[in-house]
Structure 1
């Protein structure tokens, strides 16, 4: 089932119109409509809000339709940095218990989404600071 069709199903289960959900999210209906029609994907902050409104995890939404693994603006260095970050060898544990392979996969997918969002925000901040605006991963 695609991400778009999951949004439609979840929204209809709640009995909300696109206008109502868009208003709750603080966006225009056209933006939400683009998500539901598979024309665009929400950013991480909206993905988290959607998950909260639908009472599911962001991982559940991500599982339905793998979001683009990397944004179009990503440089070769960006892709290398994110890949290195996601492939860190640490085993994920909680309270002394190892997570299942399925749960680790979900967490890694969510971590990758968060890492891409952080990278995007970092690039925007450097761009706004003007020429010579050094950031943590300058120069590209």
Structure 2
């Protein structure tokens, strides 16, 4: 998730959470909440963090820069994603088709949500199976 990537980027620089928060102009508890996946930075802050670390916002979101498929995705995950994209009907809002750049932005957001949901589901299954073995 985002927190793991933020921690990795911070550690690469050898920064503490306090130093990172200062560099971004936020309080340490706020920054810490991002690393611990309690909260997420807004888009402006995401862009600021990406620029600071010389990476793309997509990298922070866990996407590979070339095709927006996270490195952890299995063949089955990729198949599910391809199926989602192939079911490419009209995007509408209030009865009006959404086209061009607006359509691409919506698809990008849906892509991010798809992969985040997949990853959360994998973590939940892993947590559930760990809890089952402890019983």
Bigger relative contact order (CA 8 A; separation at least 6): 1
Give 1:21's match in structure 2, choosing from 7, 21, 26: 26
**TM score, norm. by length of structure 1:** 0.53
Equivalent residue number for residue 37 of structure 1 = none
2:42 counterpart of 1:50: yes
Cα distance in structure 2, aligned partners of 1:87 and 1:22: 43
Structure 1 segment 20-99 matched on structure 2, within 5 A: 20-21=25-26, 23=28, 25-27=30-32, 46=40, 49-51=41-43, 67-68=63-64, 69-99=68-98
Displacement after TM superposition at 1:22 (Å): 6.1
Displacement after TM superposition at 1:20 (Å): 2.2
Q: Which runs of 4+ in 1 moved over 4 A?
A: 64-67
**TM score, norm. by length of structure 2:** 0.54
The structure whose residues are more often helix, as a share, is 2
- Over residues 62-99 of structure 1, what are the superposed CA-to-partner deviations in whole Å (9 max), with x where a residue is unaligned? xx765421111111010010121133222011111111
Q: Tell me the C-alpha RMSD between the 2 structures.
A: 3.3
Q: Which residues of structure 2 form unaligned runs of 5+?
A: 1-20, 47-55
- Structure 1 residues 53 and 71, CA gap change in structure 2 (3 angstroms): closer
Would you say how many aligned residue pairs link Structure 1 and Structure 2?
93
